[in-house]
């Protein structure tokens, strides 16, 4: 597994980016994004949702400022994987600031790779502190636009 030189944009592809989430609630968003990861990982959607919802029960991953970062670890994975979703309407994600979440980065990493997990979470949180960047993401209409916006912003972790 690559410990260095990992970019968020490299973990995403057009199949794992949803620019118009249809879900209306937290579990729906998690299930909707998990579907794309199930296709590329071979894991069952139900297992991915279970891992992510178990983590949510420990405390919401809605960090405020319109952002949700559902994440978890699985022994079934050998490489990190990520999905991205946008909800124009906003979803109650039990965020710290009580405001709806619009931007979602879902991260799943191998259980035996805590450093990668933490580095990626920190990298996501760091770039999302930038308000103009969040606004540009909100305007993205296609997966390619999302990846381009990320490439412009991100650093190597």
* pLDDT more than 70, % of the chain: 94
Residue from 26, 71, 73, 134 carrying the catalytic annotation: 71
Q: Which residue has the tokens 């405001």?
A: 99
Task: Tell me if residue 117 is catalytic.
Answer: no
Q: What is the largest CA-CA distance in the chain?
A: 37
pLDDT band with cut points at 50, 70 and 90 for residue 155: low
Query: For residue 154, is pLDDT > 80?
Result: no
Domain positions in the chain? 8-153
DSSP character for 54?
Answer: H
Q: How many CA atoms lie within 13 A of 123 on its CB side?
A: 24
Superfamily of chain region 8-153: Mannitol-specific EII; Chain A (3.40.930.10)
Q: Report, as an integer, the average pLDDT of 111-123.
A: 91
pLDDT band with cut points at 50, 70 and 90 for residue 75: very high
Instruction: For residue 2, give Cα distances in angstroms to 44, 52, 113, 124, 152.
Output: 24, 23, 10, 18, 22
What three-state secondary structure class fits 149? helix
Using one digit for the tens of pLDDT, what is the confidence trace for 16-66?
999 999 999 999 999 999 999 999 888 999 999 999 999 999 999 999 999
């Amino acid at each position: 597994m690559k410990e260095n030189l990992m970019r968020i944009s490299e973990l995403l592809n057009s199949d794992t980016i949803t620019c118009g989430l249809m879900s209306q609630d937290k579990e729906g968003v998690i299930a909707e994004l998990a579907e794309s990861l199930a296709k590329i990982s071979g894991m069952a959607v139900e297992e991915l949702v279970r891992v992510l919802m178990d983590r949510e029960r420990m405390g919401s991953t809605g960090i405020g400022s319109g952002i949700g970062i559902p994440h978890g670890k699985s022994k079934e994975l050998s490489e990190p994987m990520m999905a991205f979703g946008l909800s124009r309407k906003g979803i109650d994600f039990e965020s710290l600031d009580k405001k709806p979440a619009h931007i979602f980065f879902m991260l799943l990493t191998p259980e035996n790779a805590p450093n990668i997990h933490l580095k990626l979470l920190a990298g996501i949180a760091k770039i999302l502190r930038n308000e103009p960047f969040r606004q540009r993401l909100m305007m993205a209409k296609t997966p390619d636009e999302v990846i381009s916006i990320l490439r412009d912003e991100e650093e190597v972790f």
